[in-house]
């Protein structure tokens, strides 16, 4: 079967609030709770022992990756609300909670889908700004921990802004607004309690590094020449239940518009084609991809076609 003949189910709802399904109330509620958790940490800082705050800080770090790769990511591809105003408000809330611009993230992510972790050209550039091969050598993927801990400092807001402005100046404005609001929030928290912001920043950085680590293993071992195998999947049930089916990444890259609630059914529909294409599957969640027992060496993407892990 040719890949362009695969029919994707479009879900609909009679809800006046949600655009696709009432199940989207779950990630929306999770996003609101995450925002509340962010501010509760500030409230608790002078009131609880340091060891408690360290535990809360580590949870915050993990929750940044959880939000970016689950709530925020699904929001990019399938905005939750019918109302543009509500979608804009959620975008702002996500920007403040996670500490980035949701609109900038959307631009970077859509560029990722254009390049699909492509190899550098003769000038060392990649279509995918966050390709795991961009800073590798001789066509090899960059080491996962270097990618995870350095990518935060490689982000280029100017390039993202220029691309947004070229496409839609209005979105560029909202992208900068999201960035400004998150920075302003952090500055205000720092003014109110400078010790807290000094405590928070390392966990904030670590959380974004965990998100990059998660992203690394969603791409490492993918085949940029085969649409069905662009991404790498993990079918761990607890991971997918709690991360809004983030594990179905090969399926997502093949058809980005498939709603998160339909990922498992979509995978069942194309599983034979995936096997034929050599889609790579890892056993642990993507954030723990380095623990996969069948992890290949860090060679260039094309070499993964030789020994794909069976689906």
Sign, CA torsion 54/28/168/10: positive
pLDDT score, position 10: 79
| DSSP, res 69 | I
Q: For 54-75, what is each residue's pLDDT tens digit?
A: 999 999 999 999 999 999 999 9
In a domain, 184, yes or no: yes
Q: Count of domains in the chain?
A: 1
Query: 282: domain range?
Result: 3-306
Return the closest-CA partner of residue 218 out of 292, 274, 162: 292
13-17, 89-93, 223-227, 270-274: segment of lowest average pLDDT: 223-227
In a domain, 52, yes or no: yes
d(CA 294, CA 308): 9
19-23, 71-75, 234-238, 293-297: segment of lowest average pLDDT: 293-297
d(CA 182, CA 270): 41
Phi, psi of 24 (to 5 degrees): -70, -10
For the record, the structure tokens of 132 come out as: 């795991």
Write the CA distances from 121 to 31, 86, 142, integer angstroms: 38, 41, 16
**C-beta neighbour count of 262 within 10 angstroms:** 20
Beta bridge partners of 282: 234
Is 306's pLDDT higher than 70?
A: no
27-31, 109-113, 121-125, 241-245: segment of lowest average pLDDT: 121-125
pLDDT score, position 1: 46
Q: For 206-247, what is each residue's pLDDT tens digit?
A: 999 999 999 999 999 999 889 999 999 999 999 999 999 999
CA 218 to chain centre: 9
In a domain, 159, yes or no: yes
Q: What is the pTM of this model?
A: 0.92
In a domain, 79, yes or no: yes
Sign, CA torsion 270/21/115/311: negative
In a domain, 311, yes or no: no
Looking up tokens 């990922």, which residue turns up? 263
In a domain, 44, yes or no: yes
Residue 86 burial class via C-beta count within 10 angstroms: exposed 0-12, middle 13-18, buried 19 and up: middle
């Amino acid at each position: 079967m040719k890949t362009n003949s695969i029919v994707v189910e479009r879900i609909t709802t009679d809800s006046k609030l949600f655009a696709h399904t009432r199940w989207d109330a779950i990630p929306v509620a999770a996003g609101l709770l995450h925002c509340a958790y962010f501010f509760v940490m500030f409230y608790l800082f002078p009131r609880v022992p340091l060891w408690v705050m360290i535990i809360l800080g580590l949870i915050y770090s993990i929750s940044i990756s959880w939000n970016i790769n689950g709530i925020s990511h699904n929001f990019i591809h399938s905005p939750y609300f019918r109302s543009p105003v509500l979608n804009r408000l959620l975008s702002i809330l996500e920007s403040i909670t996670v500490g980035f611009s949701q609109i900038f993230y959307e631009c970077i992510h859509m560029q990722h889908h254009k390049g699909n972790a492509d190899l550098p050209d003769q000038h060392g550039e990649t279509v995918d700004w966050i390709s795991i091969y961009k800073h590798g050598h001789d066509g090899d993927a960059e080491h996962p921990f270097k990618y995870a801990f350095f990518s935060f400092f490689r982000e280029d807001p100017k390039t993202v802004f220029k691309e947004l402005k070229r496409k839609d100046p209005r979105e560029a404005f909202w992208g900068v607004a999201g960035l400004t609001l998150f920075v302003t929030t952090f500055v205000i928290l720092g003014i109110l309690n400078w010790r807290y912001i000094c405590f928070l920043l390392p966990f904030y950085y670590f959380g974004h590094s965990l998100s990059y680590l998660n992203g690394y293993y969603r791409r490492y071992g993918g085949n940029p020449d085969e649409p069905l195998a662009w991404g790498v999947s993990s079918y761990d049930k607890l991971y997918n239940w709690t991360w809004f089916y983030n594990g179905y990444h090969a399926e997502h890259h093949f058809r980005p518009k498939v709603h998160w609630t339909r990922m498992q059914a979509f995978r069942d529909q194309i599983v034979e084609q995936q096997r034929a294409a050599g889609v790579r599957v890892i056993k642990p969640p993507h954030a723990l991809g380095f623990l996969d027992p069948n992890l290949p060496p860090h060679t260039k993407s094309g070499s993964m076609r030789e020994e794909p892990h069976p689906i």
